[in-house]
Amino acid sequence: MILYIQYLKAYFMSISQYKKSAILTIIGQFLTSLFSLLGINFLFSQFNSLGGFTYEEILLCYSNITFAFSLAEFFARGFDTFPYLISDGRFDRILLRPRGAILQILGATFEISRLGRLFQAILIYIWVLPRSKIVWNFFNIFVLLEIQICGFVLFVSLFILYATICFFTTQGLEIFNIFTDGSREFGKYPFAVYGDKVLKIFTYVVPVACIQYYPISYLTGKTGNMLYAFTPLFVIPYTVLVVIFWKIGVKKYTSTGS
Amino acid sequence: MIKVENISKSYYVSEKREKTKIRNLFFKTRKQIEALDNISFSVEDGEMVGYIGPNGAGKSSTIKILSGILTPDSGKCTINGMVPWEERVKYVKNIGVVFGQRSQLWWDLPVIESYNLLKEIYKIPKNQYKRTLFRLTDMLDLDSLINIPARQLSLGQRMRCEIVAALLHEPRILFLDEPTIGLDAVSKKSVRQFIKNINKESNLTLLLTTHDMQDIEMLTKRIIFLAKGKILFDGEIETIKQKYNKKMVYIKCKGNKPNLIEGIEIKDEDEGYFTVKLDKKKITEESAIKYLISRSEIIDITSHDLSTEEIVIQMYKDYQV
């Protein structure tokens, strides 16, 4: 943990060399994701609800996903850029150091520009939480935190999964972005909106719906099923699987060297 | 101590095909390449060994295997009583690796910040860290450099900082992969001097790959010569020098070029002057001089031993690599 904080400190020291550039990219990210927000607003100027969800509920979903995803992108940038880590030899260097590889890759780099999106998510929270007609009792606050934390962990493990695939293909698979960036874009609306098949994919293959559609349904009172409130916890075994897969990938890397 | 026994490693590379066909996008024919073929050697504690060979000989693969980031197909290897690729985290605490072509310093940070991070990564006790850092920076005259961001250093300055970075945790073995590549003459000299000192002072075991024969000449007594994945020579560099010992004799003369007898070859010719090379198997220096002096005016006679560089070129030729 001390080491991780040192990595973070080193990153901010590096960033401080390019202050203007950092601020501009933060603003840029803020503005680009503003467009999808405008998209939601446009939709709701035509309709009153979408798949049974109100404007406020969709916004809550949007800010959950944006919050978790941009936080994950900020912290797990090393896995997002993993093909470069392999091709320029930095991953070899990581293996030469007496620390766990995952920790070192997480520490290798961060992405400050994502704080622009994170900031936007927080602004929306401030606006939407009091207006959402959800009673913010102790349990519901717990569910919200559960969504945020598990969402963050889920996206981090999706990035790790993406990096693991690089071991088998050397180059990153752009197609995999369907699941990372795709789940961010799709995930702004509850998956049920897209129909049953999409919901199933995002439940069983990439369990993004577990931190989104199901708990949101519970929070907004669409279902009384308590099980739906705990679906985000499904992320834990998923992450364990991803880490096992990652370890197999590292083994494969050290036996082929490429 | 490094002990390597019968290490082999082969890679699959996809074969290039002449015609571009859509089929090739989906199917690859793979070819097996022996990167290392039954390599065995051992290095004593405190020994300094030069690992040389042409490009693609398998030098980097060896370094990767010895440093634990590559698992060989077969063979045994024990270093400090451990198998490098089996207990990575435990093993790498005792080795340092410097890649001449890659940096391990944080690009935008002052060098000292990179060192502080390494202190944390290797969990170096504070007092030990202070002592080692002081000793190394003192030895290398780095005091003024370590507060400058790595990206602003010259290549030579950075290489010295890289070596210090690899030594902070006081490893017992240091692998240097082309440490002088791209450096100017002065920087090369100071890097070599430093490597020499560090080996002497702390009884560090050193394995060095290089293409620069002056590195070898200045640093190591023993070389391991590798080509096409096989060790072709392992021993004192002097042995090789003796084997290839050929004194080269050149004679420069003034006048017109006479008919040359056997053993005298023309090397170059300039207006009114010419230089010949003697083949000492065929003619003695004495008779050559006698022959030339009766036909022209001798201006200069030079002779020198084959340099290590020339010997290596000769070895590449002899082993047809």
Residues B207 and B227 in one domain: yes
Q: To which residue do tokens 């021993």 refer?
A: B235
Residues B75 and B124 in one domain: yes
Residues B225 and B257 in one domain: no
Angle between helices A115-128 and A19-46 (to 10 degrees): 40
B316: in domain: no
Residues B123 and B230 in one domain: yes
Rama region for A48: left / alpha / beta (φ>0; ψ in -120 to 50; rest): alpha
Q: Is B233 on the interface with A (CB under 8 A)?
A: no
Model confidence pLDDT, tens digit, residues B215-237: 888 888 899 999 888 998 899 88
Q: Which of A13, A96, A255 sits opposite B113 (nearest CB)?
A: A13
Indicate the range of B135-149, B195-209, B249-263 predicted with least confidence: B249-263
**B206, B240, B274 - which closes a domain:** B240
Average pLDDT value for residue range B66-84: 92
Chain A and chain B share a number of CB contacts under 8 A equal to 67
Q: Measured between alpha carbons, how far is B2 from B234 in angstroms, rounded to an integer?
A: 15
Residues B232 and B281 in one domain: no
pLDDT value at A156 more than 90 = yes
Range of the domain at B199: 2-6+39-240
CATH assignment at residue B299? 3.30.70
Q: Which of B70, B92, B121 sits opposite A254 (nearest CB)?
A: B70
CB contacts of A98 in chain B (<8 Å) are 88-90, 92-93, 121-123
ipTM of the complex as predicted: 0.85
With a pLDDT cut of 70, the percent of chain A lying above it is 98
Question: Can you give the length of chain B in residues?
Answer: 321
CA nearest B140: which of B207, B106, B191? Answer: B191
The helix/strand/coil state of B11 is strand
At residue B61's C-alpha, the angle toward residues B60 and B65, to 5°, is 115
Q: How many domains does chain B have?
A: 2
Model confidence pLDDT, tens digit, residues B23-74: 666 666 677 888 899 999 999 999 999 999 888 888 989 999 999 999 999 9
B199: in domain: yes
Q: What is the pLDDT of residue B16?
A: 59
Residue A253: C-alpha distances to residues A175, A215, A248, B41, B68 (Å): 21, 38, 9, 26, 12
Q: Measured between alpha carbons, how far is A162 from A23 in angstroms, rounded to an integer?
A: 28
Indicate the range of A9-18, B29-38, B128-137, B164-173 predicted with least confidence: B29-38
Q: Is B70 on the interface with A (CB under 8 A)?
A: yes
Please state the pTM of the whole predicted model.
Answer: 0.85
Substitution target in B70, B92, B99, B169 with the highest count of A β-carbons within 10 Å is B70
Q: Which of A14, A90, A93 sits opposite B108 (nearest CB)?
A: A14
How many CA atoms lie within 13 Å of A214's alpha carbon, on the beta-carbon side?
Answer: 24
Residues B62 and B144 in one domain: yes
Q: Measured between alpha carbons, how far is B252 from B274 in angstroms, rounded to an integer?
A: 6
B19: in domain: no
**B196, B217, B240 - which closes a domain:** B240
Provide the residue ranges of all domains of chain A, joining segments of one domain with +.
21-256
At residue A40's C-alpha, the angle toward residues A36 and A42, to 5°, is 110
**DSSP annotation of B307:** P
Which residue is closest to B93 within chain A, CA to CA?
A98
With a pLDDT cut of 70, the percent of chain B lying above it is 94
Element (H, E) at B78: strand B74-79
Residues B198 and B295 in one domain: no
Substitution target in A3, A6, A94, A97 with the highest count of B β-carbons within 10 Å is A97
Model confidence pLDDT, tens digit, residues A213-234: 999 999 988 888 889 999 999 9
